[in-house]
Amino acid sequence: MFNAIVKIKKVTKGLTFKRLALTLLFTSLLSACGFQLRGDYLLDDELQTLYVTSSDVHGELTRLVKLNLTNNQVNVLKHSKSSTPELRIVSDKLDRRTLSLFSNGQVAEYELIYAVHYQVRFPEQDSRNFRFELYRDYQDDPNLALAKSRELSLLLSEMRTAAADKILRDLARIQPD
């Protein structure tokens, strides 16, 4: 009986060691391939201090971009300095395109197109322009107008959050000349 217990302890000790070794192996493989948790971006040293401006200073996209930058340890300035890079959100607009109709001719489904245009300017350099579009499908029902308007506002908020994340990802790839 005692020999059986000793053998079980040796087997479990061996399994524990194997699990630990596998965990360390997978961890080192993940870190070796450059894996990072989503939302954690390493911006260039020149972008660690940034002035953010927009045509809609109090807009939700501008607020979200500033929040994302602050969460990534970027110093967002309140006033422009000539030696500081500038992120300028030129425009953000929502368009919609009809995808399908009900039999009575009313619109059943839209495609929402959220277009963003922004610029990044480094001191003593030309501005770099960036544009992108995000697409979502939206089903409309005239019988549920209040619920559908709430759904549309939530969808637009989600699109703005995705746009702010994309701007931050793009900033992480930018290298000053």
The residue assigned the tokens 């500038």 is 86
**Helix/strand/coil (H, E, C) string of the chain?**
CHHHHHHHHHHHHHHHHHHHHHHHHHHHHHHHCCCCCCCCCCCCHHHCEEEEEECCCCCHHHHHHHHHHHHCCCEEECCCCCCCCEEEEEEEEEEEEEEEECCCCCEEEEEEEEEEEEEEECCCCCCEEEEEEEEEEEECCHHHHHHHHHHHHHHHHHHHHHHHHHHHHHHHHCCCC
The C-alpha atoms of residue 116 and residue 162 are separated, in whole angstroms, by: 11
Q: Per-residue pLDDT tens, the chain, 177 aa: give them.
A: 555 544 555 555 556 777 878 887 877 777 766 655 555 566 666 778 889 998 887 889 999 999 999 988 888 888 888 888 999 999 999 998 988 888 887 878 889 999 999 999 988 888 899 999 999 998 877 777 676 788 888 999 999 999 999 999 998 888 776
**68, 166 Cβ separation under 8 angstroms:** no
- Predicted local distance difference test score (pLDDT) of residue 90: 94
- In angstroms, rounded to a whole number, what is the distance separating the alpha carbons of residues 136 and 159? 8
Report the CATH architecture of 39-173. Answer: 2-Layer Sandwich (3.30)
| Overall pTM > 0.75 | no
